[in-house]
Amino acid sequence: MLNIGLVLPDVLGTYGDDGNALVLRQRARMRGLKAEIHPIRLGEPVPETLDIYTLGGGEDTAQILAADHLISDGGLTRAANAGRPVFAICAGLQVLGESFRASGRIIDGVGLLDATTAGMQDRAIGEVASEPTRAGITSNLTEPLTGFENHLGATILGPSAQPLGTLTRGNGNADQAATADLSDGSAQRTYEGAVQGSVIATYMHGPALARNPQLADLLLAQAMGVALADLEPIEIPAVDRLRVERFNASEPPRSQR
């Protein structure tokens, strides 16, 4: 039985990112595995023995509530420290960092990612695509990543975190204003998402795992304790067509903007 934790869908479920848990469950079931989703709502303890955890997006107040709960509860931190995979989207990425800005103040994050989030000058909204860096537990990713970003957070990665992808389209983690005074500012502006330990985080909505089946299978493999190559392939032509459509979307590449 594969047990999938859907963490705080009542406050981190604004943008349909609950769909990532559904994708994981369906891809497991298509391989003949039993899989169930366990919603964990605000005020409920986070079990530390589930196989995988997903977090989605949310607004400022929701982020603050989520951070307070996850820090005080500690279950997600214990699960991540034990090597159980955690997949976080947008606000989920920010909440798992060291700190983030919400409602005009700096809020302490869960601390699973060496990342801090301030504000962007302009909202990042539109298609985003990247080439996987193959950092850490994503070392076996080979297919380009695609999603839809919609955020005002400028996330700067510290030395213990690595980007999930190197941008080919879109804004990614941070803008010019947030990185202008950084010694590695030009590199930070090419980053999308973050990888640290068993945590994979990204600004890609979509849901991300519907648009990136190899990433979904990597997370499943991590949760099951097997190699990505050991998973039986799944052919879904509609997903292939979706990826081609999104990579050919009308927004011009970064190099032409």
Query: Measured between alpha carbons, how far is residue 150 from residues 79, 194, 204 in Å?
Result: 28, 17, 8
CA atoms within 13 A on the CB side of 36: 6
Token pair, residue 65, equals: 């509530």
Q: Note the pLDDT of residue 255.
A: 44
Q: Note the pLDDT of residue 239.
A: 85
What digits encode the pLDDT tens for the residues 221-233?
Answer: 999 999 999 999 9
What's the angle, vertex CA 138, arms to CA 200 and CA 67, rounded to 5? 10
35 has which bridge partners? 2
- Phi and psi at residue 247, to the nearest 5°: -70, -20
Asked if 205 and 89 count as a contact pair (C-beta separation under 8 A), the reply is: yes
What digits encode the pLDDT tens for the residues 23-35?
Answer: 999 999 999 999 9
Overall number of domains in the chain: 1
When pLDDT is averaged across residues 182-196 and rounded to a whole number, the result is 97
Distance CA 10, CA 67 (A): 13
Range of the domain at 247: 2-256
When pLDDT is averaged across residues 57-77 and rounded to a whole number, the result is 96
Indicate the burial class of 240 (C-beta count within 10 angstroms; 0-12, 13-18, 19 or more): exposed
Asked if 141 and 218 count as a contact pair (C-beta separation under 8 A), the reply is: yes
Q: Calculate the average pLDDT of the chain.
A: 94
Consult the annotation and say whether 211 binds a ligand. Answer: no
* pTM listed for this prediction: 0.95
Give the residue numbers annotated as catalytic, written as ranges: 90, 205
Confidence label for 251 from pLDDT (cuts 50, 70 and 90): low
List the CATH number of the domain containing 241.
3.40.50.880
